[in-house]
Amino acid sequence: MNKIFALAGVVIKELYRRKDFYVLFILTALLTFAAGSANFFHDAKIVRYLKDICLLLIWVSALLVAILTAARQIPAEREARTIFPLLAKPVSRAQLIVGKFLGCWLATGLALFVFYLFFAVITGSREQIWPVGVYLEAAWMQWVMLAIVIGMVLLGSIYFAAPSSTTTIAFIVVVGILFVGSHLNTIALQQGEPVQSILAFLYFTIPHLEWYDLRDFVVYDMGMAPVGAVALATLYAAAWTGIFLLLTWLGFRRKNLTT
Amino acid sequence: MKVSPWILLAGLLALAFTLATKLAATADNWSGRSKPENVFEMLLGDGRRLFANESFTMADVYFHSGYYPSMFDQNAKEQREIIAASHGHKETEEEEKKEDFFGQPHDWIDAFGRNFRITRHTHLAAHQEREILPWLRLAADLDPQKIETYTVGAYFMREHLGRPNEAEAFLREGLRHNPGNSEILFELGRIYRENRHDLNRARNVWEYGVKSYLSLSPDLQKENKLVYEELVMNLARLEDEAGNYAAAIKWFEKGKVVSPAPDAIQKQIDDIEKKLAGAKPVAAPK
Protein backbone atom coordinates (compact mmCIF):
# COMPACT_ATOMS: atom_id res chain seq x y z
CA MET A 1 0.00 0.00 0.00
CA ASN A 2 2.92 2.35 0.77
CA LYS A 3 4.19 1.90 -2.77
CA ILE A 4 0.79 2.87 -4.15
CA PHE A 5 0.69 6.01 -1.99
CA ALA A 6 4.25 6.89 -2.99
CA LEU A 7 3.31 6.64 -6.66
CA ALA A 8 0.17 8.71 -6.01
CA GLY A 9 2.24 11.35 -4.22
CA VAL A 10 4.42 11.80 -7.31
CA VAL A 11 1.35 12.39 -9.47
CA ILE A 12 -0.01 14.98 -7.02
CA LYS A 13 3.34 16.80 -7.00
CA GLU A 14 3.20 16.79 -10.79
CA LEU A 15 -0.17 18.59 -10.69
CA TYR A 16 1.20 21.57 -8.84
CA ARG A 17 4.45 21.64 -10.78
CA ARG A 18 2.72 21.76 -14.14
CA LYS A 19 0.87 24.87 -15.29
CA ASP A 20 -2.37 23.28 -16.54
CA PHE A 21 -4.29 23.73 -13.31
CA TYR A 22 -3.15 27.31 -12.73
CA VAL A 23 -4.06 28.32 -16.28
CA LEU A 24 -7.50 26.74 -16.02
CA PHE A 25 -8.16 28.23 -12.60
CA ILE A 26 -7.14 31.73 -13.67
CA LEU A 27 -9.25 31.42 -16.82
CA THR A 28 -12.26 30.26 -14.78
CA ALA A 29 -11.79 33.09 -12.30
CA LEU A 30 -11.38 35.72 -15.02
CA LEU A 31 -14.44 34.59 -16.97
CA THR A 32 -16.51 34.39 -13.78
CA PHE A 33 -15.45 37.88 -12.71
CA ALA A 34 -16.19 39.21 -16.20
CA ALA A 35 -19.67 37.63 -16.13
CA GLY A 36 -20.22 38.85 -12.57
CA SER A 37 -19.38 42.42 -13.48
CA ALA A 38 -22.17 42.57 -16.07
CA ASN A 39 -25.07 44.83 -15.12
CA PHE A 40 -28.58 43.61 -15.97
CA PHE A 41 -31.22 46.29 -15.53
CA HIS A 42 -29.43 47.64 -12.42
CA ASP A 43 -30.36 44.54 -10.41
CA ALA A 44 -27.45 43.37 -8.26
CA LYS A 45 -29.32 40.38 -6.84
CA ILE A 46 -29.34 38.38 -10.07
CA VAL A 47 -27.05 35.42 -9.40
CA ARG A 48 -28.17 32.21 -11.11
CA TYR A 49 -26.57 32.95 -14.47
CA LEU A 50 -23.28 33.50 -12.63
CA LYS A 51 -23.59 30.16 -10.81
CA ASP A 52 -24.44 28.50 -14.11
CA ILE A 53 -21.42 29.94 -15.94
CA CYS A 54 -19.01 29.30 -13.07
CA LEU A 55 -20.14 25.68 -12.63
CA LEU A 56 -19.89 25.04 -16.36
CA LEU A 57 -16.32 26.34 -16.32
CA ILE A 58 -15.54 24.19 -13.28
CA TRP A 59 -16.90 21.12 -15.07
CA VAL A 60 -14.87 21.76 -18.21
CA SER A 61 -11.71 22.60 -16.24
CA ALA A 62 -11.94 19.59 -13.92
CA LEU A 63 -12.56 17.32 -16.89
CA LEU A 64 -9.50 18.72 -18.64
CA VAL A 65 -7.34 18.37 -15.51
CA ALA A 66 -8.45 14.74 -15.05
CA ILE A 67 -8.05 13.70 -18.68
CA LEU A 68 -4.77 15.53 -19.32
CA THR A 69 -3.20 14.25 -16.09
CA ALA A 70 -4.30 10.64 -16.59
CA ALA A 71 -3.53 10.42 -20.31
CA ARG A 72 0.20 11.17 -19.96
CA GLN A 73 1.01 9.06 -16.89
CA ILE A 74 1.98 5.70 -18.41
CA PRO A 75 3.12 6.94 -21.87
CA ALA A 76 5.41 9.54 -20.22
CA GLU A 77 7.02 6.89 -17.98
CA ARG A 78 7.58 4.70 -21.02
CA GLU A 79 8.97 7.46 -23.17
CA ALA A 80 11.38 8.65 -20.48
CA ARG A 81 12.21 5.01 -19.71
CA THR A 82 11.66 5.69 -16.02
CA ILE A 83 9.15 2.86 -16.00
CA PHE A 84 11.97 0.29 -15.88
CA PRO A 85 13.60 1.44 -12.61
CA LEU A 86 10.07 1.92 -11.26
CA LEU A 87 9.09 -1.68 -11.99
CA ALA A 88 12.44 -2.89 -10.66
CA LYS A 89 11.80 -1.39 -7.17
CA PRO A 90 9.94 -3.84 -7.04
CA VAL A 91 6.54 -2.37 -7.90
CA SER A 92 4.11 -4.66 -9.65
CA ARG A 93 2.29 -3.51 -12.74
CA ALA A 94 -1.01 -3.66 -10.84
CA GLN A 95 0.42 -1.40 -8.12
CA LEU A 96 1.69 0.99 -10.77
CA ILE A 97 -1.78 1.29 -12.30
CA VAL A 98 -3.55 1.69 -8.96
CA GLY A 99 -0.94 4.21 -7.80
CA LYS A 100 -1.27 6.25 -10.96
CA PHE A 101 -5.06 6.13 -10.72
CA LEU A 102 -5.09 7.17 -7.07
CA GLY A 103 -2.66 10.01 -7.76
CA CYS A 104 -4.73 11.34 -10.64
CA TRP A 105 -7.96 11.04 -8.65
CA LEU A 106 -6.57 12.76 -5.56
CA ALA A 107 -4.94 15.48 -7.67
CA THR A 108 -8.26 16.08 -9.42
CA GLY A 109 -9.99 16.16 -6.03
CA LEU A 110 -7.54 18.81 -4.87
CA ALA A 111 -8.24 20.88 -7.97
CA LEU A 112 -12.00 20.42 -7.46
CA PHE A 113 -11.71 21.57 -3.85
CA VAL A 114 -10.03 24.81 -4.94
CA PHE A 115 -12.60 25.35 -7.71
CA TYR A 116 -15.62 24.79 -5.42
CA LEU A 117 -14.10 26.98 -2.72
CA PHE A 118 -13.84 29.77 -5.28
CA PHE A 119 -17.41 29.07 -6.40
CA ALA A 120 -18.74 29.14 -2.83
CA VAL A 121 -16.97 32.42 -2.06
CA ILE A 122 -18.17 34.12 -5.25
CA THR A 123 -21.81 33.03 -5.02
CA GLY A 124 -21.97 33.31 -1.23
CA SER A 125 -20.75 36.89 -1.31
CA ARG A 126 -23.51 37.72 -3.75
CA GLU A 127 -26.39 35.62 -2.37
CA GLN A 128 -25.47 35.75 1.31
CA ILE A 129 -26.44 32.08 1.70
CA TRP A 130 -24.09 29.14 2.12
CA PRO A 131 -25.71 25.79 1.20
CA VAL A 132 -22.58 23.84 2.11
CA GLY A 133 -24.35 20.45 1.96
CA VAL A 134 -25.54 21.05 -1.60
CA TYR A 135 -22.08 22.16 -2.72
CA LEU A 136 -20.39 19.20 -1.03
CA GLU A 137 -22.82 16.75 -2.61
CA ALA A 138 -22.36 18.28 -6.07
CA ALA A 139 -18.57 18.27 -5.69
CA TRP A 140 -18.58 14.67 -4.40
CA MET A 141 -20.67 13.45 -7.33
CA GLN A 142 -18.42 15.24 -9.78
CA TRP A 143 -15.32 13.78 -8.15
CA VAL A 144 -16.81 10.28 -8.21
CA MET A 145 -17.65 10.73 -11.90
CA LEU A 146 -14.06 11.81 -12.56
CA ALA A 147 -12.86 8.51 -11.06
CA ILE A 148 -14.65 6.69 -13.90
CA VAL A 149 -13.17 9.12 -16.43
CA ILE A 150 -9.64 8.66 -15.08
CA GLY A 151 -10.06 4.87 -15.20
CA MET A 152 -11.29 5.14 -18.79
CA VAL A 153 -8.37 7.39 -19.79
CA LEU A 154 -5.78 5.10 -18.17
CA LEU A 155 -7.24 2.22 -20.18
CA GLY A 156 -7.04 4.30 -23.35
CA SER A 157 -3.46 5.31 -22.62
CA ILE A 158 -2.42 1.63 -22.76
CA TYR A 159 -3.79 1.14 -26.27
CA PHE A 160 -3.60 4.49 -28.07
CA ALA A 161 -0.33 5.57 -29.60
CA ALA A 162 0.02 9.02 -28.04
CA PRO A 163 -1.44 10.95 -25.07
CA SER A 164 -2.94 13.47 -27.53
CA SER A 165 -5.10 10.82 -29.20
CA THR A 166 -6.12 9.39 -25.81
CA THR A 167 -7.08 12.89 -24.62
CA THR A 168 -9.11 13.70 -27.73
CA ILE A 169 -10.97 10.40 -27.82
CA ALA A 170 -11.66 10.43 -24.08
CA PHE A 171 -12.97 13.99 -24.24
CA ILE A 172 -15.31 13.15 -27.13
CA VAL A 173 -16.60 10.00 -25.38
CA VAL A 174 -17.18 11.75 -22.04
CA VAL A 175 -18.90 14.78 -23.57
CA GLY A 176 -20.95 12.46 -25.80
CA ILE A 177 -22.14 10.44 -22.77
CA LEU A 178 -22.92 13.60 -20.80
CA PHE A 179 -25.02 15.03 -23.64
CA VAL A 180 -26.83 12.01 -25.10
CA GLY A 181 -26.15 9.18 -22.63
CA SER A 182 -29.59 9.33 -21.04
CA HIS A 183 -31.38 9.78 -24.39
CA LEU A 184 -29.82 6.91 -26.34
CA ASN A 185 -32.82 4.69 -25.69
CA THR A 186 -35.24 7.35 -26.96
CA ILE A 187 -33.10 7.94 -30.04
CA ALA A 188 -32.90 4.17 -30.62
CA LEU A 189 -36.70 3.93 -30.83
CA GLN A 190 -36.71 6.34 -33.78
CA GLN A 191 -34.12 4.32 -35.74
CA GLY A 192 -34.39 1.25 -37.94
CA GLU A 193 -32.48 -2.00 -37.40
CA PRO A 194 -29.59 -2.64 -36.79
CA VAL A 195 -28.95 0.92 -35.50
CA GLN A 196 -31.81 0.53 -33.02
CA SER A 197 -30.30 -2.55 -31.38
CA ILE A 198 -26.80 -1.03 -31.38
CA LEU A 199 -28.00 2.15 -29.66
CA ALA A 200 -30.10 0.19 -27.14
CA PHE A 201 -27.08 -2.01 -26.38
CA LEU A 202 -24.90 1.08 -25.90
CA TYR A 203 -27.51 2.64 -23.62
CA PHE A 204 -27.36 -0.28 -21.22
CA THR A 205 -23.60 -0.80 -21.37
CA ILE A 206 -22.06 2.69 -21.15
CA PRO A 207 -21.25 4.25 -17.77
CA HIS A 208 -23.99 6.82 -17.18
CA LEU A 209 -21.86 9.83 -16.33
CA GLU A 210 -24.81 12.22 -16.73
CA TRP A 211 -26.20 11.09 -13.35
CA TYR A 212 -23.32 12.80 -11.61
CA ASP A 213 -24.13 16.25 -12.94
CA LEU A 214 -25.93 18.02 -10.08
CA ARG A 215 -25.38 21.53 -11.40
CA ASP A 216 -29.14 22.15 -11.77
CA PHE A 217 -29.68 21.43 -8.07
CA VAL A 218 -27.07 24.06 -7.20
CA VAL A 219 -28.05 26.67 -9.78
CA TYR A 220 -31.81 26.51 -9.14
CA ASP A 221 -31.56 26.16 -5.34
CA MET A 222 -33.35 22.81 -5.36
CA GLY A 223 -31.68 21.46 -2.25
CA MET A 224 -29.88 18.15 -2.10
CA ALA A 225 -30.42 15.10 -4.28
CA PRO A 226 -31.58 12.00 -2.31
CA VAL A 227 -28.61 10.76 -0.24
CA GLY A 228 -29.52 7.10 -0.83
CA ALA A 229 -29.39 7.64 -4.59
CA VAL A 230 -26.04 9.40 -4.24
CA ALA A 231 -24.69 6.42 -2.28
CA LEU A 232 -25.89 4.01 -4.98
CA ALA A 233 -24.41 6.20 -7.71
CA THR A 234 -21.11 6.15 -5.80
CA LEU A 235 -21.22 2.35 -5.74
CA TYR A 236 -21.98 2.32 -9.48
CA ALA A 237 -18.98 4.61 -10.08
CA ALA A 238 -16.76 2.36 -7.95
CA ALA A 239 -17.85 -0.64 -10.01
CA TRP A 240 -17.10 1.10 -13.33
CA THR A 241 -13.77 2.39 -12.08
CA GLY A 242 -12.90 -1.15 -11.01
CA ILE A 243 -13.86 -2.47 -14.45
CA PHE A 244 -11.64 0.08 -16.22
CA LEU A 245 -8.68 -0.49 -13.90
CA LEU A 246 -8.97 -4.24 -14.31
CA LEU A 247 -9.10 -3.90 -18.09
CA THR A 248 -6.08 -1.57 -17.93
CA TRP A 249 -4.16 -4.11 -15.88
CA LEU A 250 -5.14 -6.95 -18.23
CA GLY A 251 -3.82 -4.96 -21.17
CA PHE A 252 -0.73 -3.69 -19.36
CA ARG A 253 0.49 -6.84 -17.59
CA ARG A 254 1.80 -8.49 -20.79
CA LYS A 255 2.57 -5.30 -22.67
CA ASN A 256 6.04 -5.02 -24.16
CA LEU A 257 7.36 -1.80 -22.69
CA THR A 258 10.39 -1.42 -24.94
CA THR A 259 8.46 -0.61 -28.16
CA MET B 1 25.79 56.11 -44.26
CA LYS B 2 25.33 54.54 -40.87
CA VAL B 3 22.08 55.37 -39.03
CA SER B 4 21.62 54.52 -35.40
CA PRO B 5 18.84 51.90 -34.90
CA TRP B 6 17.39 54.12 -32.13
CA ILE B 7 17.00 57.02 -34.56
CA LEU B 8 15.40 54.66 -37.10
CA LEU B 9 13.01 53.38 -34.42
CA ALA B 10 12.12 56.91 -33.33
CA GLY B 11 11.54 57.91 -36.97
CA LEU B 12 9.25 54.93 -37.61
CA LEU B 13 7.29 55.59 -34.41
CA ALA B 14 6.85 59.25 -35.42
CA LEU B 15 5.67 58.17 -38.89
CA ALA B 16 3.18 55.65 -37.42
CA PHE B 17 1.85 58.25 -34.98
CA THR B 18 1.46 60.90 -37.70
CA LEU B 19 -0.34 58.49 -40.03
CA ALA B 20 -2.62 57.32 -37.20
CA THR B 21 -3.77 60.88 -36.46
CA LYS B 22 -4.40 61.44 -40.16
CA LEU B 23 -6.15 58.14 -40.94
CA ALA B 24 -8.09 57.33 -37.74
CA ALA B 25 -10.97 59.63 -38.65
CA THR B 26 -11.59 57.99 -42.03
CA ALA B 27 -10.56 54.37 -41.30
CA ASP B 28 -13.96 53.44 -39.87
CA ASN B 29 -15.64 54.08 -43.20
CA TRP B 30 -13.23 52.08 -45.36
CA SER B 31 -15.13 48.81 -45.09
CA GLY B 32 -18.42 50.56 -45.82
CA ARG B 33 -19.98 48.82 -42.79
CA SER B 34 -21.71 50.54 -39.95
CA LYS B 35 -20.08 50.48 -36.51
CA PRO B 36 -21.15 47.40 -34.51
CA GLU B 37 -23.59 48.15 -31.70
CA ASN B 38 -22.26 45.54 -29.31
CA VAL B 39 -19.63 42.86 -28.93
CA PHE B 40 -21.91 40.15 -30.40
CA GLU B 41 -22.46 42.12 -33.58
CA MET B 42 -18.73 42.71 -33.85
CA LEU B 43 -17.88 39.01 -33.36
CA LEU B 44 -20.77 37.24 -35.06
CA GLY B 45 -22.28 39.76 -37.47
CA ASP B 46 -25.80 38.80 -38.51
CA GLY B 47 -25.08 35.21 -37.44
CA ARG B 48 -25.77 36.29 -33.86
CA ARG B 49 -29.50 36.04 -34.51
CA LEU B 50 -29.15 32.25 -34.63
CA PHE B 51 -28.30 32.25 -30.92
CA ALA B 52 -31.01 34.70 -29.85
CA ASN B 53 -33.67 32.00 -29.81
CA GLU B 54 -31.48 29.80 -27.62
CA SER B 55 -30.99 32.65 -25.20
CA PHE B 56 -34.74 33.29 -25.08
CA THR B 57 -35.32 29.57 -24.44
CA MET B 58 -32.82 29.74 -21.56
CA ALA B 59 -35.00 32.45 -19.99
CA ASP B 60 -37.90 29.98 -20.14
CA VAL B 61 -35.69 27.21 -18.67
CA TYR B 62 -34.81 29.52 -15.76
CA PHE B 63 -38.48 30.42 -15.34
CA HIS B 64 -39.12 26.70 -14.80
CA SER B 65 -36.06 26.31 -12.55
CA GLY B 66 -34.56 23.71 -14.85
CA TYR B 67 -37.70 21.59 -15.31
CA TYR B 68 -37.58 21.61 -19.07
CA PRO B 69 -37.73 19.07 -21.88
CA SER B 70 -34.59 18.52 -23.92
CA MET B 71 -34.58 18.34 -27.70
CA PHE B 72 -34.86 14.55 -27.36
CA ASP B 73 -38.02 14.62 -25.27
CA GLN B 74 -41.30 14.10 -27.08
CA ASN B 75 -43.07 17.12 -25.61
CA ALA B 76 -40.38 19.59 -26.68
CA LYS B 77 -42.02 22.98 -26.17
CA GLU B 78 -43.21 24.98 -29.12
CA GLN B 79 -44.50 28.02 -27.26
CA ARG B 80 -42.50 29.46 -24.41
CA GLU B 81 -44.46 29.79 -21.21
CA ILE B 82 -42.92 33.15 -20.39
CA ILE B 83 -44.71 34.52 -23.48
CA ALA B 84 -48.02 33.04 -22.37
CA ALA B 85 -47.47 34.45 -18.87
CA SER B 86 -46.78 37.91 -20.27
CA HIS B 87 -50.20 37.78 -21.96
CA GLY B 88 -51.78 37.10 -18.58
CA HIS B 89 -52.24 33.35 -19.14
CA LYS B 90 -52.17 31.25 -15.96
CA GLU B 91 -51.64 27.52 -16.31
CA THR B 92 -54.38 25.18 -15.16
CA GLU B 93 -53.60 21.95 -13.32
CA GLU B 94 -54.57 20.01 -16.44
CA GLU B 95 -52.17 21.98 -18.62
CA GLU B 96 -49.39 21.38 -16.12
CA LYS B 97 -50.09 17.65 -16.18
CA LYS B 98 -49.97 17.71 -19.98
CA GLU B 99 -46.53 19.22 -19.75
CA ASP B 100 -45.17 16.36 -17.64
CA PHE B 101 -42.73 15.37 -20.36
CA PHE B 102 -41.10 12.70 -18.18
CA GLY B 103 -44.03 10.27 -18.13
CA GLN B 104 -43.43 6.81 -16.71
CA PRO B 105 -39.77 5.70 -16.52
CA HIS B 106 -38.77 3.54 -19.48
CA ASP B 107 -36.26 1.41 -17.59
CA TRP B 108 -34.20 1.30 -14.37
CA ILE B 109 -31.53 3.63 -15.80
CA ASP B 110 -34.18 6.23 -16.60
CA ALA B 111 -35.87 5.74 -13.20
CA PHE B 112 -32.63 6.01 -11.24
CA GLY B 113 -31.39 8.96 -13.32
CA ARG B 114 -34.46 10.97 -12.28
CA ASN B 115 -33.02 11.21 -8.78
CA PHE B 116 -30.49 13.61 -10.26
CA ARG B 117 -32.83 15.66 -12.41
CA ILE B 118 -35.34 18.32 -11.50
CA THR B 119 -38.72 16.64 -11.77
CA ARG B 120 -41.00 19.27 -10.20
CA HIS B 121 -42.89 21.72 -12.40
CA THR B 122 -42.51 25.11 -10.74
CA HIS B 123 -42.43 28.72 -11.88
CA LEU B 124 -40.27 31.44 -10.43
CA ALA B 125 -42.12 33.63 -7.95
CA ALA B 126 -41.54 36.16 -5.16
CA HIS B 127 -39.12 38.39 -7.07
CA GLN B 128 -37.04 35.40 -8.19
CA GLU B 129 -38.29 36.21 -11.71
CA ARG B 130 -35.32 38.54 -11.94
CA GLU B 131 -33.19 35.50 -12.76
CA ILE B 132 -34.57 35.33 -16.31
CA LEU B 133 -33.46 38.89 -17.10
CA PRO B 134 -29.82 38.20 -18.09
CA TRP B 135 -31.01 35.82 -20.81
CA LEU B 136 -33.53 38.34 -22.11
CA ARG B 137 -30.85 41.03 -22.14
CA LEU B 138 -28.60 38.67 -24.11
CA ALA B 139 -31.44 37.77 -26.50
CA ALA B 140 -32.07 41.48 -27.14
CA ASP B 141 -28.37 42.06 -27.86
CA LEU B 142 -28.22 39.05 -30.16
CA ASP B 143 -31.39 39.86 -32.09
CA PRO B 144 -32.75 43.38 -31.58
CA GLN B 145 -35.66 42.58 -33.92
CA LYS B 146 -37.03 39.82 -31.66
CA ILE B 147 -40.10 41.56 -30.27
CA GLU B 148 -41.04 39.04 -27.54
CA THR B 149 -37.76 39.71 -25.78
CA TYR B 150 -38.81 43.30 -25.02
CA THR B 151 -42.45 42.59 -24.21
CA VAL B 152 -41.70 39.60 -21.95
CA GLY B 153 -38.83 41.37 -20.19
CA ALA B 154 -40.90 44.50 -19.63
CA TYR B 155 -43.87 42.46 -18.38
CA PHE B 156 -41.81 40.68 -15.71
CA MET B 157 -40.04 43.86 -14.63
CA ARG B 158 -43.31 45.80 -14.42
CA GLU B 159 -45.66 43.17 -13.05
CA HIS B 160 -43.45 40.97 -10.87
CA LEU B 161 -40.43 43.05 -9.93
CA GLY B 162 -42.07 46.44 -9.50
CA ARG B 163 -39.58 48.18 -11.78
CA PRO B 164 -41.58 50.16 -14.34
CA ASN B 165 -38.72 52.56 -15.09
CA GLU B 166 -36.42 49.77 -16.26
CA ALA B 167 -39.33 48.17 -18.13
CA GLU B 168 -40.04 51.42 -19.96
CA ALA B 169 -36.35 51.89 -20.84
CA PHE B 170 -36.22 48.34 -22.23
CA LEU B 171 -39.36 48.90 -24.31
CA ARG B 172 -38.04 52.20 -25.63
CA GLU B 173 -34.86 50.38 -26.66
CA GLY B 174 -37.09 47.90 -28.48
CA LEU B 175 -38.94 50.76 -30.18
CA ARG B 176 -35.65 52.25 -31.36
CA HIS B 177 -34.88 48.98 -33.10
CA ASN B 178 -38.46 48.33 -34.22
CA PRO B 179 -40.11 51.71 -34.76
CA GLY B 180 -43.90 51.72 -34.38
CA ASN B 181 -44.18 48.06 -33.36
CA SER B 182 -47.70 47.61 -32.00
CA GLU B 183 -46.79 44.85 -29.48
CA ILE B 184 -44.15 47.02 -27.86
CA LEU B 185 -46.51 50.01 -27.91
CA PHE B 186 -49.18 47.91 -26.21
CA GLU B 187 -46.80 46.94 -23.40
CA LEU B 188 -45.62 50.55 -23.08
CA GLY B 189 -49.23 51.69 -22.77
CA ARG B 190 -49.74 49.21 -19.93
CA ILE B 191 -46.94 50.87 -18.00
CA TYR B 192 -48.62 54.28 -18.36
CA ARG B 193 -52.04 52.87 -17.53
CA GLU B 194 -51.30 50.39 -14.75
CA ASN B 195 -48.17 51.78 -13.11
CA ARG B 196 -48.25 55.51 -13.76
CA HIS B 197 -52.08 55.84 -13.95
CA ASP B 198 -51.53 58.29 -16.80
CA LEU B 199 -54.60 57.65 -18.96
CA ASN B 200 -53.76 60.28 -21.56
CA ARG B 201 -50.33 58.89 -22.39
CA ALA B 202 -51.66 55.33 -22.34
CA ARG B 203 -54.41 56.35 -24.77
CA ASN B 204 -51.93 58.08 -27.10
CA VAL B 205 -49.55 55.13 -27.14
CA TRP B 206 -52.29 52.57 -27.72
CA GLU B 207 -53.93 54.63 -30.44
CA TYR B 208 -50.55 54.86 -32.14
CA GLY B 209 -50.29 51.08 -31.75
CA VAL B 210 -53.66 50.61 -33.49
CA LYS B 211 -52.57 52.96 -36.28
CA SER B 212 -49.32 51.01 -36.73
CA TYR B 213 -51.22 47.74 -36.81
CA LEU B 214 -53.64 49.02 -39.46
CA SER B 215 -50.72 50.11 -41.63
CA LEU B 216 -49.45 46.50 -41.83
CA SER B 217 -50.07 44.25 -44.83
CA PRO B 218 -53.18 41.98 -44.56
CA ASP B 219 -50.98 38.94 -43.96
CA LEU B 220 -49.13 40.59 -41.10
CA GLN B 221 -52.42 41.91 -39.68
CA LYS B 222 -53.74 38.33 -39.60
CA GLU B 223 -50.56 37.18 -37.85
CA ASN B 224 -50.81 39.92 -35.20
CA LYS B 225 -54.56 39.81 -34.59
CA LEU B 226 -54.06 39.12 -30.89
CA VAL B 227 -52.21 42.37 -30.22
CA TYR B 228 -54.88 44.33 -32.11
CA GLU B 229 -57.55 42.72 -29.96
CA GLU B 230 -55.59 43.55 -26.81
CA LEU B 231 -55.08 47.15 -27.97
CA VAL B 232 -58.72 47.89 -28.81
CA MET B 233 -60.09 46.11 -25.74
CA ASN B 234 -57.74 48.00 -23.44
CA LEU B 235 -58.58 51.27 -25.18
CA ALA B 236 -62.28 50.50 -24.68
CA ARG B 237 -61.79 49.84 -20.95
CA LEU B 238 -59.67 52.96 -20.60
CA GLU B 239 -62.35 55.15 -22.24
CA ASP B 240 -65.00 53.51 -20.08
CA GLU B 241 -62.96 54.32 -16.97
CA ALA B 242 -62.42 57.89 -18.17
CA GLY B 243 -66.17 58.31 -18.68
CA ASN B 244 -65.88 58.63 -22.47
CA TYR B 245 -68.67 56.15 -23.07
CA ALA B 246 -69.13 56.85 -26.78
CA ALA B 247 -65.44 56.26 -27.47
CA ALA B 248 -65.55 53.11 -25.30
CA ILE B 249 -68.42 51.72 -27.37
CA LYS B 250 -66.51 52.53 -30.57
CA TRP B 251 -63.49 50.51 -29.38
CA PHE B 252 -65.63 47.65 -28.07
CA GLU B 253 -67.33 47.46 -31.49
CA LYS B 254 -63.90 47.10 -33.12
CA GLY B 255 -62.93 44.49 -30.55
CA LYS B 256 -66.12 42.50 -31.23
CA VAL B 257 -65.04 41.93 -34.82
CA VAL B 258 -61.79 40.17 -33.87
CA SER B 259 -62.66 38.67 -30.48
CA PRO B 260 -63.37 34.95 -30.10
CA ALA B 261 -66.14 35.91 -27.58
CA PRO B 262 -68.20 38.67 -29.26
CA ASP B 263 -71.25 37.98 -27.04
CA ALA B 264 -69.38 38.91 -23.89
CA ILE B 265 -68.24 42.15 -25.53
CA GLN B 266 -71.80 42.93 -26.65
CA LYS B 267 -72.85 42.58 -22.99
CA GLN B 268 -70.24 45.16 -22.03
CA ILE B 269 -71.49 47.48 -24.80
CA ASP B 270 -75.04 47.06 -23.47
CA ASP B 271 -73.86 47.95 -19.96
CA ILE B 272 -72.16 51.10 -21.21
CA GLU B 273 -75.22 52.08 -23.24
CA LYS B 274 -77.28 51.78 -20.07
CA LYS B 275 -74.78 54.00 -18.26
CA LEU B 276 -74.91 56.44 -21.16
CA ALA B 277 -78.74 56.56 -21.03
CA GLY B 278 -78.64 57.08 -17.25
CA ALA B 279 -76.14 59.89 -17.59
CA LYS B 280 -78.27 61.85 -20.12
CA PRO B 281 -79.54 65.04 -18.49
CA VAL B 282 -83.26 65.02 -17.79
CA ALA B 283 -85.12 67.78 -19.67
CA ALA B 284 -85.96 70.65 -17.42
CA PRO B 285 -89.72 71.11 -16.78
CA LYS B 286 -91.27 74.11 -18.52
CA closest to A43 among chain B residues: B130
Q: What residues in B contact A216, CB-CB < 8 Å?
A: 66, 117-118
**Chain A interface, mutation test: which of B117, B150, B170, most A Cβ atoms within 10 Å?**
B117
Is the residue at A243 inside a domain? Answer: yes
CB spacing of A42 vs B157 below 8 angstroms: no
Q: For A210-242, write each residue's pLDDT tens digit.
A: 999 999 999 998 889 999 999 999 999 999 999
Asked if B137's CB is within 8 angstroms of A40's CB, the reply is: yes
Q: Judge whether A259 lies within some domain.
A: no
Report the pLDDT value the prediction gives residue A214, as an integer from 0 to 100: 93
User: Quick check: B31 pLDDT over 80?
Assistant: no
Residue B264: pLDDT band by 50, 70, 90 thresholds? confident
Q: Residue A258 falls within a domain, yes or no?
A: no
Residue B1 is given by DSSP the state -
Residues of chain A positioned with their CB less than 8 A from the CB of B161: 43
Domain for residue A236, yes or no?
yes
At B79, the pLDDT band (50, 70, 90 cuts) reads low
In the predicted model, is pLDDT for residue B224 greater than 60? Answer: yes
If one compares B69 and B8, the residue with the highest pLDDT of the two is B8
Averaged pLDDT for residues A134-159: 94
pLDDT at A7 over 60: yes
pLDDT tens digits, one per residue of B132-188: 999 999 999 888 889 999 999 999 999 888 899 999 999 999 999 999 899 999 999
pLDDT number for residue B65? 86
A28 is a domain residue: yes
pLDDT, mean over chain A: 89
Q: What is the pTM of this model?
A: 0.83
3-state secondary structure of B116: helix
**A131 domain residue, yes or no:** yes
Residue A74 lies in a domain: yes
Can you give the residue range of the structural domain that contains A99?
A: 2-252
Residue A257 resides in a domain: no
pLDDT band at A44 (very low <50, low <70, confident <90, very high): confident
SS (H, E, C) chain A: CHHHHHHHHHHHHHHHHCCHHHHHHHHHHHHHHHHHCCCCCCCCCCCHHHHHHHHHHHHHHHHHHHHHHHHHHHHHHHHCCCHHHHHCCCCCHHHHHHHHHHHHHHHHHHHHHHHHHHHHHHHHHHHCCCCHHHHHHHHHHHHHHHHHHHHHHHHHHHHCCCHHHHHHHHHHHHHHHHHHHHHHHHHHHCCCCCHHHHHHHHHHHCCCHHHHCCHHHHHCCCCCCCHHHHHHHHHHHHHHHHHHHHHHHHHHCCCCCCC
Name the domain count of chain A.
Answer: 1
What residue of B is the nearest CA neighbor of A141?
Answer: B116
Condensed to tens digits (0 to 9), the pLDDT of residues B116-136 reads 988 888 888 888 888 999 999
**Domains (range + CATH), chain B:** 37-100+109-164 (no CATH), 180-272 (1.25.40.10)
pLDDT at B75: 59
Task: Give CA–CA dist B231/A213, Å, rounded.
Answer: 46
- CB of A245 within 8 Å of any CB in chain B? no
Confidence (pLDDT) at B32: 63
- Rounded distance, CA A240 to CA A184, Å? 19
Q: Which of residues 149-188 of B touch A (CB under 8 A)?
A: 157, 161, 163, 166, 170
Q: For chain B, give the mean pLDDT.
A: 83
Average pLDDT value for residue range B61-71: 85
